[in-house]
Amino acid sequence: MAMAGKRPPRRPNLQAATRVVNKADGAGGASTSKRSLGDQWRAYLANHRRVARESLQGLFKVWLASAMTWLVIGIAMALPTMLYLILSNASTLSGDWDGKPRISIYLQESVSEADGRGFAQQLLADELVVAVDYVSPSAALAEFTQRSGFGDVLRSLDRNPLPAVITIEPGVSQTGQLKPLVARLEAEAMIASVSFDLAWMERLFAILDLAERFVTALGGFLALGVLLVIGNTIRLAIENRRAEIEVVKLVGGTDSFVRRPFLYLGFWYGLGGALMAWVLVGASLVFLSAPIEMLLASYQGDFLVIGLSGGESLLLLLLGSGLGILGAALAVGRHLRQIEPS
């Protein structure tokens, strides 16, 4: 650009301060372009660190209000997390079962082992039967003793109360298709009773599946709630800093520069909320696990209530901070554009 002739760009007789101001580069040049990319990158990172630190400090400065927001987010996130844990524990409980139906046939006491095995082989001929497993009364007793811990009681009896059992693995899994087979078996003279455990298992799994969907839906709703809470909190923060935003835009702050503190704010809200949820879930588990374990021990040996794994905890925190950033981004996108210096 051509300088207007009248005055030279610099004159020697300026005040010392002027010289300091203009020592580094000639007056007026776009000084930004004179710094190396590395310097600019470092300054950019430094700005991120500073904004992250300052926004967190800002939250602690009004710690009571921040704690309330964190608690609201924490509760909203703890609820589906708890339900998720209940479900995953329930799945562990029913995990022994591979999802295929089993038909258990209890033989009459009078049936000898040889006859029982022969009968089992006959059953294999049925096209609906894939595999059979004959368990003799003594084998059944041994297994029961080992599994239940009631060995002493059983040993004190003078005879084995358990019948021989044939377990059938059918080739189909629909209850309806198996009904004729079950009816035929019940008619056999050798058989004392037939237990067909599919129906309630099917129901249990249907219930678990339903519960899973319910938790997913609830989680979705509550995530939306978290987004709204954070979005609204950020909107208020934007409104409070309106003057600052105008000045920053006036002196050439880019959109991303203006956005940055609010995104970090959302991040801290989300992360803090997730931490709060983590603590709430942990505390509830401590509170609940002893009675649950006692209850389940009375049914089926050892059971340990499983808490959140390291990976799941990390996921919770990531989810929280992600929701925070997203909520902030939505609020910022809606409101920041409207604030222009005027």
Identify the sign of the CA torsion 26, 247, 249, 49.
positive
d(Cα 65, Cα 58) in Å, to the nearest integer? Answer: 11
Compute the distance between CA of residue 118 and CA of residue 111 in angstroms, rounded to an integer. 11
In the shown chain, the binding pattern of residues 185 to 224 toward other proteins, with x for contact by CB under 8 A and - for none, equals: ----------------------------------------
Exactly one of 118, 171, 225, 253 binds other proteins (CB under 8 A); that residue is 253
Contact with other proteins (CB under 8 A) among 95, 99, 252, 310 = 252
Task: State how far the alpha carbon of 208 is from the alpha carbons of 201, 285, 327, in Å.
Answer: 10, 20, 32
Per CB under 8 A, the list member of 178, 244, 271, 286 interacting with other proteins is 244
Rule CB under 8 A: say whether 333 interacts with other proteins: no
Sort residue 99 into left (φ over 0), alpha (ψ -120 to 50) or beta.
Answer: left
CA 183, 189, 190, 191 torsion-angle sign? positive
Single-letter amino acid code for the residue at 213: R
Facing residues of 166 across strands? 105, 134
By CB under 8 A, what part of segment 257-296 binds other proteins?
257
Amino acid in position 248:
V
How far is CA 133 from each of CA 124, 142, 258, 337, rounded to the nearest angstrom? 10, 16, 72, 73
Among 92, 122, 148, 254, binds other proteins (CB under 8 A): 254
In the bound state with other proteins, the residue whose beta carbon lies nearer, of 30 and 187, is 30
- What track of x and - describes contact with other proteins for positions 12 through 51 (by CB under 8 A)? --xx-xx-xxx--xxxxxxxx--x---xx-xxx-xx----
How deeply is 327 buried, as exposed, middle or buried, from its count of CB atoms within 10 A (0-12, 13-18, 19+)?
buried
- Which is nearer to other proteins, 27 or 131 (by Cβ)? 27
Instruction: Choose, by CB under 8 A, the member of 113, 188, 202, 246 that binds other proteins.
Output: 246
Based on the shown chain and the rule CB under 8 A, indicate whether residue 243 belongs to the binding site for other proteins: yes
Residues of the shown chain interacting with other proteins in the complex, contacts defined by CB under 8 A: 1-4, 6-7, 9-11, 14-15, 17-18, 20-22, 25-32, 35, 39-40, 42-44, 46-47, 243-244, 246-255, 257, 340-342
